[in-house]
Amino acid sequence: MRYGLFSDVHSNLEAFEAVLTAMARERIEKFLCLGDIVGYAANPNECLNRLRQLPAVVVAGNHDLATVGHPILYELYDAAREAAEWTAAQLTEENKTWIQTLPLVAQEGEATLVHGSLFEPEEFHYIHKPSEIEQNFSLMETPLCFVGHSHFPWIMEEGEETAVGEIIYRKGKKYLVNVGSVGQPRDGDVRASFCIWHSEERRIELRRVPYNIETVQRKILASRLPAWFAERLAIGK
């Protein structure tokens, strides 16, 4: 099976379409989404509608739940909460209902999917510190775990240094993969991030693709969302 994985679209339709176009060239058979489809940018319904057309397994992100009455809304910083409240006012009832059906954790073949961490997934912890990484590995019941949330793409084999790019994963080992962000990269690379998983070849690739940042910026400003969400797209931070 050839999977296309992505996370943190954040209502950025231009980045999402660029990723889907790139994935179409890879003959993806199934899509795996690690959450945060909405928030920050100006096309929440369009991104949700596009995702719902795909043969996809989707888990909930904190920004998704923040738009449908979850108390996680009040844990967001001020500008992010403002964007979540704006998004909630835009969403169709059908899309709100769909978000409420999303699980926090899912499994697909040899992989576990979660937005933040397997430790208290409902709290949306980040995985940064060695102790957080080790804790997540200890909770894995599958060889692979794909996450998003931090907007930084990386691949880690248990007990090894972080890798980027492409790996062949080995039997008997565990791997933690952050697929980065489609709609708001924060690793200094402005291009949309996504991942290809070739399950039969045991190969995982982190990929990047450019998109029309200026169009997204104009939409954000026209919608009167916080200007910082437009500005940061041009610097990848």
- The model's pLDDT over 63-94, given as tens digits with 9 standing for 90+, comes to 999 999 899 999 999 999 999 999 999 999 99
Tell me the two tokens of residue 82. 């403002």
Look-up: residue for tokens 């998004």?
Answer: 87
Q: If you search the block for the tokens 């959450």, which residue do you land on?
A: 35
Task: Tell me what the mean pLDDT of segment 15-28 comes to.
Answer: 96
Q: Which DSSP string do the residues of 16-50 spell out, in sequence order?
A: HHHHHHHHHTTT--EEEE-S--SSSSS-HHHHHHH
> What are the pLDDT digits (tens) for 138-164?
999 999 999 999 999 999 998 876 777
Q: Count other Cβ atoms within 10 Å, centred on residue 152.
A: 21
Residue 68, SS3 per DSSP: coil
Amino acid at 237: K
> Domain spanning 2-234 has what CATH number?
3.60.21.10
Contact call for residues 84 and 67 (beta carbons, < 8 A): yes
Place of tokens 């430790």: 119
Residues for the chain: how many in total?
237
Residue 94, SS3?
helix
